[in-house]
Each structure stands twice: as structure tokens, then as C-alpha cells.
Amino acid sequence: MTLVVVDTSVWQRRLQPGVGGSLGDALEADAVAMVDPIELELLRSAWDSEDHDQIREEYSVLHRIPLDAEIGARAVEVQSRLARRGYHRGPSVTDLLAAAAAEAAGAELWHCDRHFELIAGVTGQPVRRLGT
């Protein structure tokens, strides 16, 4: 299985039919990579510091794609290209950085968020929509 970056939208829908199975298969295959902006979004759901620590520990076993200046520059470039099409206000900063990180790592980006389809329309990178 190819390395995958799993967007917050998928993690939040992991109990939906079709989403949990695909996510479970990717985790079992050790094919899931995490990027800091997605982890930060997910950690916002922690109830308290103990829950925060537990969630961080769960994600610590995943592959990491570190953000660097090139990934940041690519995110800005993609946003600029989206602006030319009138879509620059759609994808969030997290979406843009996650997509740029996935692209840099050659990873497929799994999502339940139409903004990634807009991004892929500019970048041509592999994305896969899961769930509803």
C-alpha cells in the first residue's frame, strides 16, 4: 500500500461504514503518515491534558512528514493558482499544507472534504474521497 496522509475529515468519520475499514487497513499496513497541522486539528478535540497526551501518543506511531520551507512555498503557490480560478478562500491553511506535504512525500491524500478535489485539480496529485 502507498503511503497515505489522512485528513482530519477522515479521522472524524472513522466510525462510518467504508471509512473505518479503509483507515484500519492503512494503519495495519503501516502506511499512514501524519503532518503537524492535521495533528493539531485533531488534538483540539481533547477533553483535557490527559486526553491530549493519550491522543498524541496514539499518533506518535505514525510516519511523519515534516513541514519545511519548500512545502510552505508549494502551499502558497497552490493557493495562488486557486485564486486565479476564484477558489482561494475554499481550502484552509491546514488543507493546503497537508496537500503540499502529501505531494512532497508522494503520498495519496485521503479526505472527506471537497477542498482537496479543488487542490488536486491544480496539482494533479492522488487523492481519495472516503465516506460521505
Mean of pLDDT values over 77-103: 93
**Where do the structural domains in the chain lie, given as residue ranges?**
4-129
86 φ/ψ sector (left φ>0, alpha ψ -120 to 50, else beta): left
Tell me the whole-structure pTM to 2 decimals: 0.93
- CB 60, CB 33: distance < 8 Å: no
Report the CATH number of the 4-129 domain. 3.40.50.1010
Return the DSSP state at 17. Answer: T
pLDDT band per the 50, 70, 90 thresholds, residue 89: confident
pLDDT digits 0-9 by tens, 56-70: 999 999 999 999 999
| Whole-number Cα distances in Å, 50 to 17, 41, 54, 57, 122 | 29, 17, 6, 11, 41
Mean pLDDT of the chain: 94
Phi, psi dihedral angles at 62 (to 5 degrees): -80, 155
pLDDT confidence tier of residue 113, bands split at 50, 70 and 90: confident
Q: Is the pLDDT of residue 34 over 90?
A: yes
